[in-house]
Structure 1
């Protein structure tokens, strides 16, 4: 029984120790640090699958020694383990070039398994870096202490005039482009040669349920066709109109239905029948398409 108990403890220890495969420590450089510099350290810990770090075991930001502070600790998951990113700051005022040692620490790890939770420890070894003095140990002696100071640097005076002129030119071009767009879209009034755009804008003010509104909508389309062609346009003139204005050919069927609805509404006094044959939504859609074709032309 004692032998079995010893074997069980050995297997438990091996299972716990098997969690940590390797520990790799990297720094951007190991020399050339001066007072106040930040030191970035990356520690890669290779682990067995299912192992996690116990955050309570990580070093806490704060003073490490009288000349070294730990500023930040970050933990990242990576394939096959975890990665620690530590940021230190050195406050060592060196008088000569020398190496300083950062103490190591221990990270606790845990792994959940059907048999329970096993733990292990990853030993992060101490590492060192080189510091350099900010000034000479024995500088050349000068009578006036102010001579030890470097003169203030001269900043080149910047002339704001070119930037201001460029801003004014760009603003003017922007306003010109906005004006051209407003003219093209006829936002502020009727643009010559855009009768359908004007008709579409006036159609929004008409009531859909009003019989007079339906007849007025038909009149708007009549005026648009007449002004586009420069003459009174009747139903029999539609094929010739489409030949003279090919941009409106895709709307030939809609225009044919328009003339049929117009004949019923004005000559047959059958407004309701005209509305049923060419409903208000189709009238609106057709007028929008005519305005779009007008812009494309």
Structure 2
């Protein structure tokens, strides 16, 4: 082999060796949890987390990144290593935002490298864009992020069900109120003075049957047969009739004279009028 050819091969081998060595020293891309990309103002802390240890790999830094200002926007604070589990360790690096822009601005958290003890390999931590807002926001800024599109929800089935249940509720309430009014009406018709008033509408006040109908109402209210001497039992059983006590006693006195004495007096009590008043008291008391 000639001297020139031998020299050429030596040069090729040297170039290949240099290329291999350079490839071995290329930094590996680290597994990084970057901070959220928006919502910061001056003074806020921005945190990067670099994975050092997993079941498949392990990096032991030679030195931790120094505390220093890394650009006009950020200052790096003292890093620390946190152990999440026995097999996962993280390098946690905090940056403090030290400047405030005039408008909403996207700035770069700079990229950096971490040298490890294993063959002096390097981990490459990529840059991260961060959106920084001014202390006094300018709503006309072009840096504002657009609103996220919200998917529309079809409310037609819900509105239809709401209408259906509203109608059902309204019908139920109407039926219940109707039943309650009907029950009260029927109950009111069965009360003593209500029945007596219905009888009095068919006969004249002066007839004995009218007085007997009102007597039956008093007896049913007191729960016993009443006479003038036993009237206190009526007011003990139905104290709400006390306001008409004078008219009631007069009725019983005139009834005794009419049926067992010298005959009806000239100034007879209006049986229908008294029954109307007692029915009004009876209905008010029942409510």
Regarding TM over 0.5, the answer is: no
TM-score (norm 1): 0.39
Structure with the larger strand share? 1
- Structure possessing the higher radius of gyration over alpha carbons: 2
TM-score (norm 2): 0.40
